[in-house]
Amino acid sequence: MALHIETPLLESRPLSLASGRSVWLKMDALQPPGSFKIRGIGAACEHHAGNGKKRFVSSSGGNAGIAVAYAGRRLSIPVSVFVPETTSEWAKSLIRQEGAEVFVHGASWQEANERALQAVDAEAAFIHPFDDPLLWTGHATMIDEAVRAGVSFDAVVLSVGGGGLMAGVAEGLERNGLRDIPIIAVETEGAASLAASVEAGKLTELPAITSIATSLGARKVSQRAFEIARTRPVDCVTVDDRAAVGACMRFLDDHRVLVEPACGAALAVAYTHADRLARYERVLIVVCGGATASIGQLQAWQAR
């Protein structure tokens, strides 16, 4: 049995009215560990468990770590998650709640990731948070579900951090004969590593992450995400932190679901940047989730 659930596909009246077109929501915020990550991470963990691995090691800014911890608990396999110093106490507590060990290392995810790799031995599987074909194939199931539900759409809006979600959606579109459907790839200012790479014409690393959307905080996207942006219809959109947080608050009012700014970035396109959707009639937005946000934190960010 898969570790992820099939999530609701909802037509959003508030977002449709705000953007002037039909908006459908793939509600992956409702996955048991709180984000879409469990689709791919669950598939990878099951794969490695089936091949006899006795321990999982991962690196994460939050959501991936929670997903690995959840998968390990369900599969009765111990988990170690390495997080950077920027990871909130709340995120760390959610990882520990699933029974995993948390190790804090380095100023950014990159440093935590390097330390995690050093902890991998012959008995352990390393679970990358975004750059692994096993993950992309797992994430692609959300498009399978949307297609199976019979909803047609002419664009997919999603948030980009390291590019794992984008790679999974691209694979899902491909295997359902929808390769030509555009992906609107949304990042926040200060974490827009895909947009920087597309603009430079080569994979580019940001000097630092300055956005509050730390879940989007990969200083460099995966090679796969960059290839997709170069070879398929991909429109890079950047929104500011204020728009991302504002979208989270409006979405909470409209749909009674709390998401983090990394997810709010994608929602902000419909709420406040609808001009970027002008060419489309029926848009699918991936509500990727984020268990690490709290209402108090969103209110504090909004006040700032």
Q: Which of 110, 129, 148 is the last residue of a domain?
A: 129
Residue 146 confidence class, pLDDT cut points 50, 70, 90: very high
Structure confidence by residue, pLDDT tens digits, 200-253:
999 998 888 778 777 666 788 999 999 999 999 999 999 999 999 999 999 999
Task: For residue 38, give both structure tokens.
Answer: 């469990």
Distant-in-sequence, close-in-space partners of 251: CB < 8 Å, separation ≥ 6: 257, 259, 264, 267, 287
Number of compact structural domains in the chain: 2
Residues 204 and 288 in one domain: yes
- Are residues 53 and 167 both part of a single domain? no
82: left (phi over 0), alpha (psi -120 to 50) or beta: beta
Name the percent of the chain in helix, strand, coil, to the closest 5. Answer: 45, 15, 35
186 to 83, 239, 299: CA distances (angstroms):
24, 7, 22
Same domain (yes/no): 82, 215: no
Q: Does 256 fall in a domain? A: yes
Count of CB atoms situated within 10 Å of the CB of 303: 7
Last residue of a domain, one of 100, 129, 158: 129
Res 216: pLDDT: 67
Q: What is the pLDDT of residues 94-125, one digit of tens each?
A: 999 999 999 999 988 889 999 999 999 999 99
From 81, 107, 129, the end of a domain falls on 129
Asked if residue 120 and residue 150 are part of one domain, the reply reads no
Find out whether 59 and 112 touch, Cβ atoms under 8 Å.
yes
- Predicted TM-score (pTM) of the model is 0.96
Residue 283 in contact with residue 270, Cβ under 8 Å? yes
In the chain, what is the straight-line distance between the N-terminal and C-terminal CA atoms, in Å? Answer: 44
Domain check: are 104 and 241 in the same one? no
Q: 111 and 161 share a domain? A: no
Q: What is the CATH number of the domain that holds 58?
A: 3.40.50.1100
* C-alpha R_g of the chain: 18
Structural domain boundaries enclosing 94: 37-129
Whether 170 and 214 map to the same domain: the answer is yes
In a domain, 21, yes or no: yes
DSSP 115-174: HHHHT--TTEEEE-SS--HHHHHHHTHHHHHHHHTT---SEEEEE-SSSHHHHHHHHHHH
Tell me whether residue 246 is in a domain: yes
Rounded to an integer, the average pLDDT of 258-277 is 96
Same domain, 237 and 199: yes
In a domain? residue 4? no
- For residues 170 and 276, state if they share a domain: yes
Residue 3: inside a domain: no
For tokens 């970027």, the residue is 276
Residue listed under structure tokens 């959606």: 169
**What is the model's pLDDT at position 153?**
98
On whether both 139 and 250 belong to a single domain, the answer is yes
Q: Is residue 1 part of a domain?
A: no
Same-domain status, 144 and 54: no
With a pLDDT cut of 90, the percent of the chain lying above it is 85
Please state, as a whole number, how many other Cβ atoms lie within 10 Å of the Cβ of residue 68.
Answer: 32
**Same domain assignment for residues 25 and 48:** no
